[in-house]
Amino acid sequence: MALIVQKYGGTSMGSPERIRNVARRVAKFRDAGHQVVVVVSAMSGETNRLIALAKEIQAHPDPRELDVVISTGEQVTIGLLCMALKDAGVDAKSYTGGQARILTDNTFNKARILNIESDNLRRDLDSGKVVVVAGFQGVDAAGNFTTLGRGGSDTTGVALAAALSADECQIYTDVDGVYTTDPRIVSEARKLDVITFEEMLEMASQGSKVLQIRSVEFAGKYKVKLRVLSSFQDEGEGTLITVEEGKQMEEPIISGIAFNRDEAKLTVQGVPDRPGIAYQILGPVADANIDVDMIIQNVGHDGTTDFSFTVNRSEFEKTKAVLESVRQHIGAREIVGDNKVCKVSAVGVGMRSHPGVASQMFRVLAEEGINIRMISTSEIKIAVVLDEKYLELAVRVLHRAFGLDQG
């Protein structure tokens, strides 16, 4: 008998028929003798509907009250799933974030989980009940409703698995696992049976949308065995995300090619090369709530340097405006930018023990005549910024060059 946490997203909960399907799957695990905790998202589209309603009332909804409103989406689905389970003869009980004692800080709209008091859940599990918990939400110390931000239900699932020392946390989604790259771009893309947390983190931060990055961090930190599976297929082992490296005899050097289409890059040229300048540039950008991705500063000459970074394309104009006032303040020469770029990354723990991966990647791109605009590397990732038009070509040739199509 194992204790399994299963998380189902909004698509899986999108209609009464789909909710019944989830109930059937849960019942199968219960009937196999497992204890099951189910974490659910709101019905697909519901959170957006509630946010739109709030914005009709107040252009910038009060954060506390917005969480009161949007946390209802998951409260509906926990009740509905319990009804479906009971209808299928499975004893079940629903818990909102507050009832499950998922305690968070009081950062409304993007709260962080501090602790879970799981005694009640465990008692219900031990009495044979399936426990259904609302994802995405918690309560702060004062009893206010909080939500965890987009994709927060994944985090709820992992946090519950950690709190309950579950044997596995299964994330059900509309794909059947983590792929070497997006199959819509490379038809030879293969599902990975295993991927390490570090690789998954890099894949997620480099644009692979399978799992929310916070949930992967959380799972890595608390050593939760995490598995991505399809909620629309009855068979398949999905992809296991694991802390253990090198179980295979011949570990692949590269596990996947991730990419991000919606990038823009900006460069502040002629920046005085003195301590603290990076903060003077990025501080105002962060204050404007703009997320910065890749950051590059090259060696300066003549007392000045160029400072480049990428942002989401939708923030391009806003970022340029912020930088323009920064430029005047610090006495830089010029702001230049390009919002027709993309990012392509090769990710793999194998590159730790295999030198030359970067140069192989640059050679492959050069052979196709693809100009590299920016480069950024970590211990297990090489990311390049390219002209947008080369995205598909770059992904395809790298996927083939690193042998990912061969299994």
Give me the residues that bind its own copies (CB under 8 A), please.
16, 19-20, 50, 53-54, 56-58, 61-62, 64-66, 68-69, 71-72, 75-76, 78-80, 82-84, 86-87, 93-94, 96, 98-99, 143
**Whose structure tokens read 């819509």?**
184
> Considering only CA atoms, which of 98, 115, 11, 107 is closest in space to residue 66?
107
Residue closer to its own copies by CB (options 30, 93) is: 93
Minimum Å gap between C-beta 107 and its own copies is 17
Nearest to 208 by CA among 232, 188, 226, 184: 184
Rounded to a whole number of angstroms, the minimum distance from the CB of residue 364 to its own copies is: 53
Helix (H) / strand (E) element for 273: namely: none
Residue 53 or 114: which CB sits closer to its own copies? 53
Query: Shortest distance, CB of residue 287 to its own copies, whole angstroms?
Result: 24
Closer residue to its own copies in complex, CB, 78/264: 78
Give least dist CB 147 to its own copies, A: 12
* Shortest Å, Cβ 12 to its own copies: 14
CB 257 within 8 A of CB 345: yes
Rank residues 62 and 334 by Cβ distance to its own copies and give the closer one. 62
- Residue 288 CB, nearest distance to its own copies (Å)? 24
Tokens representing 126? 């031990």
**Could you tell me the smallest distance in angstroms from the CB atom of residue 56 to its own copies?**
4
Residue 308: what residue type? S
Of 19 and 163, the one with the shorter C-beta distance to its own copies is 19
Residue showing tokens 């460069």: 267
* C-beta of 82 vs 380, nearer to its own copies: 82
Instruction: Work out how close the CB of 116 gets to its own copies at its nearest, in angstroms, rounded to a whole number.
Output: 15
CA atoms within 13 A on the CB side of 147: 25
- Quickly list H helices, 207-254: 213-221
- Pick from 265, 218, 255: which is nearest to 7 by CA? 218
The answer to whether the beta carbons of residues 5 and 157 sit under 8 Å apart is: yes
- Token digits for 102? 């998922």
Of 118 and 360, which has the nearer Cβ to its own copies? 118
Distance CA 326, CA 270 (A): 13
Nearer to its own copies, 85 or 219 (CB): 85
Lookup result for tokens 């996947």: 256
Residues whose CB falls within 8 Å of the CB of residue 360, separated by 6 or more in sequence, listed in order: 401, 402
At residue 179, the 3 state secondary structure works out as strand
Smallest separation, CB 37 to its own copies (Å)? 16
Least Å distance, CB 50 to its own copies, is 7
Q: What counts of helices (H) and strands (E) characterise the chain?
A: 12, 18
CA-to-CA distance for 157 and 41, rounded, in angstroms?
Answer: 10
**Of residues 78 and 210, the one with the C-beta less far from its own copies:** 78
Q: Which is nearer to its own copies, 111 or 271 (CB)?
A: 111
The Cα 234–Cα 175 span in angstroms is 12
Query: CA dist 325 to 3, 239, 287, 297, 303, Å?
Result: 55, 47, 13, 20, 21
* H helix runs in 88-212, sequence order: 119-126, 152-163, 197-205
